[in-house]
Amino acid sequence: MSHSDLFKKVQESEGDDRKKAAEELATAVQGSGLKGSPLIEELKTAMNANGKKDGPLREAAFAAVAALCKKSTPATEAYLVSLLGEVLNGLSDKLKPVQVEADLAVHAFAEMANGSAIQALVPVCIENIDSTKKWTTVVGALMLLGELADKAPQQMAPCLTDLMPLMSSCLTDLKQQVKDQAKSTMHKLLDTVGNKDIEKVLEDLVVNMMDPTKTEETIHKYAGIVFVQVVTAAALAAVTPLLKRGFQERKDALSRMCAKIVANMSKLVEEPAEALVFMPQIMPLLERASEEVSDPEARGVCEDALEQMNRIKKKGEERPLRKAEPPKVLAHIKAAAPSLDDEVVAGYMNTMCCGLMDSRAFDPDDWEEATVPYLKAAAGMDDSKAKEATQKILDGCKQDSGINDAPVEEEDDAEELCNCKFTLAYGTKILLFNTEMRLKRGFRYGLLGKNDCGKTTLMRSIAEGKVEGFPDPSEVRTVFVEADILGEKSHLTCIEYVLDDPAIKACNISPEQVTAQLNAVGFHDNSAAKPGDAVSTLSGGWRMKLALARAMLQKADILLLDEPTNHLDVMNVKWVQDYLMGLKNVTSIFTSHDSKTLERVATHIMHIQDLKVSIHKGNLTDFVKEYPPAKSYFELKATKFTMAFPQPGYIEGVKSKGKALMKMENCSWTYPKNTKPTVEGITVQVSLSSRVAILGPNGAGKSTMIKLLIGENIPQTGNVWKHPAVRVAYVAQHAFHLIENHLTKSPNEYIRWRYEIPGEDKEAIKKATMSLTEEEEQLMKQEVTLELKDEEGKMYKVKGVVDKLTGLRRTNKQKEYEYQLKWVGKSDDANVYVPLGKLEKLGKLYMKLVKVVDEKIAAMQGMYVRPLTRENVEKQLEDVGLEAEYGTHSRMGALSGGQKVKVVFAAALWNQPHLVLLDEPTNYLDRESLGALAGAIEGFEGGVVIISHNEEFTKKLCKETWLMEKDEETGIAHLNLEGDADWMQQALKQVQEKGPQEQIEEMVDAFGNKTAVVQKKKISKADLKKFKKKIAARRKDGEEVFTDEELESAGWIL
């Protein structure tokens, strides 16, 4: 029977008989094919028949199509795809039985369709996702799009430009069924973008398309993404609806953020022409924002973005993407398969090959899927011949597209751990673009570049597996070494802290192994830091040792270290240097603002400049010879910007800059669990003229002394005094924790939040000298008797229970401060002013209340000079080197370590302090920023006290040196006020002569192998002379050797 007769049989049957007749038709077509058959036209005519009386005809046609799709062959599939439009329309038929058969046909169609046929199928789906179509047809088209996206994500991705506007409309459709299917399909479409970075916000993008009220929050989330992959046209299309809504909100700050995202995303597109796809939708909005945004700075950002887009548009138009030309592709197909005489199959293959070309999909497997089955079915080829023909088609199409394979790089002896090409951005700032990175085992890479160039972001992205092309953790284990202790873990012991790490848990590390590794880096029961000590008690040096111990337990192939020598004294700096140099089978990448560390440790310099990574053999000296401008990274001077501290105001009664404003007299302090004091007999004073450097080894008690001075802790013996009108800014060693809970705020918002209550700093350290104990709170409830003078000078007594000090203060005729006191159960009319001397006699608890009042009044005086406005805060941030782009318009979560330090400075200095106390202020700042900070301190009219291990920095600024050292016998620290400014050099000399406190005896590599570390000795002149003769002889024999390398191998140092 002919195809037409079999189709008539389907029409004449009902129920199960119709199903059997349809399967009979499908079987016949499966065997004979559809070339020359009238069946396709007959099916179209039947499906397009109108009226109720033709319902059974339409029903039979859809049943036949479903059966044909289920039993399709590559040769018949090419014919059946032309029926998609009619099948989708059948979903909206007025007769329910027809709808049911059409639905079955649509699902059979989705199962049959080759994903590579997207160029043939997607236009039909788009045509049926229309407001003129009934919702059932729209749902069917959306379902089919989702199935195609699952089958061929790479080919579907380029279609997002046309699909996103339609999907936005469907996600807000009044019909719930349309919304539900659109949401499901939208997730599948967004998955085709193939960008791991956007995966984090895919759900947010969908939610925003359904609920416009989420626009602002979603844009902020998007701005904080770390991009490590090239942005494609699909990624641009995915974010376009969000950016359109952001611009349409017409809020200056939001338009500004959208403009930055637009400019930077377009820069991340490898081919400028790819950015052209979203310009028609975004450019008009960007042009309007450039004209209408009221804030001048935000408007300037929009104008810059518009200028950038116009430049990209010009480049894109000059270098358009090379699209597939169907006649050329068809010629390649026919040349490779002369026996292919079915024009419909050839045309279908042509469509699929063109789709693969346009989506830049040149994987041979994809091309075989799109050609081999059809060549075997329609050209009579066997599998081998069909694959040979496919390769010819692929080669011709690749040549037409201008795609060439990258040349293979020549190998060297060292094991290659990584060889990848990637792009990296953070929020609205591009850091690296399409750069290459190649790492070898055992090399030590010093990572160099200006602040904010992306050093830390690069290392963190490597550690988190977000660098495109970087080996999987199962192949190369990478560990990011961080010495910062999280607040919620500060109560843990060192052993517990290591064991609590998820990576350690994953490695099934036992407590015994942790203890052994801690012992290896110096934690012993008789050392300054013990395995059972709480991590909160560790100094910066011991924290780094703890971090290294944790990292090495994970048997890392690559160690990533961000400023490993921060917080460290000279002895511990040398310890870290020795440790890294002793790791022969572990690769390390480290940043350091210490030029000596880069000089001594690095085997290679990894330089970030102009959005590229370049790797140079040799240490810092070698690199500076090759690239002299790098010398500026280590010069203590500001070149691009300056910093300025706000000048302190007048202090009543202080006429000399040398007058003491803070004092400590014979103070000692013991940690709660310790039996002997940490510091003892400390006597110091600080004035407006002070320029003090506090020196000493890690763990000696420098920070402890500062905490006593500012009142955070109360000494067990001795006295601490501060002038009541003095404002003090204290920047702690680990001050980052202050802003970690506010990462969704901009620095400007954070400072305004912090000081929004007049006279209060919400982030002020809870000081023991200003906080009542439970015992003191009970004492406050006891009745007191005061003998006071009235306005005429007559004495009178007053009794009662004190409620509080109201915060008001005045000066009496004797020039003594008086504080207003409020009584429990009495009205404000009964408030009295009490002289400071009488409050002091009532007990220490009242002096705590006095200090609270003094602090508030001193802070308020700063507020009178400079109101807390957005503009003033922006100026303060700019004064410390943080431009408005990052200070006002970026969230703190998107800032680098160096930028966060500047936020901490700006916030601490807001109240215009008279005295500034800085604990390790040089950490995370590059040389340029250090130079600017030094200039700010030099120009500051108030007093400055600095704890730092940066000898160059303290020598430049400080005329006075306090040296904190522990007594070798008692272990108690004392302060020498006539300390030696050259203490660091002397300490380092002692280390070199005696050897470090804890020598590293063995290393464990990524394979668990233990390697003994040879401790290097200084070579004598006589031995050096002999050594050089041997080197000269080897060179004479033609061997290429280098004196410094041979010395190191032999265990010597110069």
Q: What is the pLDDT of residues 921-938, one digit of tens each?
A: 776 676 677 778 888 888
pLDDT for 989 beyond 60: no
Residue 61: pLDDT over 90: yes
Q: What is the pLDDT of residues 317-336, one digit of tens each?
A: 887 778 889 999 999 999 99
Q: Which residue has the higher pLDDT, 844 or 96?
A: 96
Q: pTM higher than 0.85 for the full model?
A: no
**Which of the residue ranges 8-22, 396-410, 425-439 would you say has the lowest mean pLDDT?**
396-410
Per-residue pLDDT, 735? 63
Residue 979 above 60 pLDDT? no
Which of 74-78, 144-148, 543-547, 870-874 bottoms out in mean pLDDT, i.e. has the lowest? Answer: 543-547
Strand runs (DSSP E) across 441-564, as ranges? 444-448, 478-481, 558-562
Buried b (16+ CB within 10 A) or exposed e, 905-933: bbbbbbbbbbbbbbbbbbbbbbbbbbbbb
| pLDDT classification of 604: cutoffs 50, 70, 90 | very high
CA distance 965 to 571: 14
Question: Between the ranges 521-530, 923-932, 1015-1024, where is the mean pLDDT highest?
Answer: 521-530
Residue 2 corresponds to which tokens in the numbers above? 């002919």
| Residue 964 in this model has a pLDDT that exceeds 50 | yes
Q: Are 549 and 518 in contact (CB under 8 A)?
A: yes
**The pair of three-digit structure tokens given for residue 826, joined into one six-digit string:** 């009495």
The answer to whether 383 and 376 are in contact (CB under 8 A) is yes
Question: Which one has a higher pLDDT value, 771 or 379?
Answer: 379
What is the DSSP pairing of strand 478-481 with strand 832-835?
Answer: unpaired
Sign, CA torsion 387/391/397/398: positive
- pLDDT of 985 higher than 70: no
Tens of pLDDT along 555-599?
888 999 888 876 666 677 888 888 888 888 889 999 887 788 888
Whether the pLDDT of residue 667 is over 90: the answer is yes
Asked if residue 409 has pLDDT above 60, the reply is: no
Dist CA 463 CA 480 (whole Å): 6
Q: Interior CA angle at 276 toward 270 and 277, to 5°?
A: 105
Rank 440-454, 697-711, 818-832 by mean pLDDT and report only the highest. Answer: 818-832
pLDDT number for residue 927:
65
Q: Give CA–CA dist 983/72, Å, rounded.
A: 86
In the block, which residue shows the tokens 């009490």? Answer: 834
Average pLDDT of the residues in 646-664: 86
For 409, residues 6+ apart whose C-beta sits below 8 A from its C-beta are 419, 438
> Percent of the chain scored above 90 by pLDDT?
26
The Cα 712–Cα 714 span in angstroms is 7
Q: Per-residue pLDDT for 464 more than 50?
A: yes
Instruction: Between 191 and 791, name the one with better pLDDT.
Output: 191
Average pLDDT of the residues in 903-917 = 90
The reported pLDDT for the residue numbered 969 is 81
Average pLDDT score over residue span 972-980: 77
For the ranges 210-214, 392-396, 626-630, 936-940, the lowest mean pLDDT is seen at: 626-630
The mean of the pLDDT values for the chain is 83
Q: Which residue has the higher pLDDT, 224 or 501?
A: 501
Average pLDDT over residues 123-145: 92
- Three-class SS state of 446: strand
Q: Residue 359's CB: how many other CB atoms inside 10 A?
A: 25
Specify the amino acid at residue 102: A
Asked if pLDDT for residue 142 goes beyond 90, the answer is yes
* Highest-pLDDT range among 188-202, 292-306, 379-393: 379-393
Residue 939 has pLDDT above 80, yes or no: yes
Contact between 430 and 265 (Cβ < 8 Å)? no
Q: Residue 408 has what pLDDT?
A: 39
In SS3 terms, 97-134 reads as HHHHHHHHHHHHHHHHCCHHHHHHHHHHHHHHCCCCCC
> Confidence class of residue 1001 from pLDDT cuts 50, 70 and 90?
very low
- Per-residue pLDDT at 857: 82
Q: Would you say the C-alpha torsion 445, 451, 453, 455 has a positive or negative sign?
A: positive
Rounded mean pLDDT, 248-260: 88
Contact 555, 1007 (CB under 8 A): yes
pLDDT, one tens digit per residue, over 149-178 is: 998 888 888 888 889 889 989 999 999 999
- Answer yes or no: is pLDDT of 993 > 70: no
- Per-residue pLDDT at 1010: 46
Best mean pLDDT range from 66-80, 649-663, 865-879? 66-80
pLDDT at 997: 41
Indicate the range of 107-121, 816-830, 919-933, 1021-1035 predicted with least confidence: 1021-1035
More confident residue, 437 or 735: 437
Most confident of 60-69, 592-601, 963-972: 60-69
Residue 1049: is its pLDDT beyond 60? no
224 has pLDDT over 70: no
Question: pLDDT at position 977, please?
Answer: 81
Give the pLDDT confidence score for residue 485 in this predicted structure.
56
Count CB neighbours of 742 within 10 A. 18
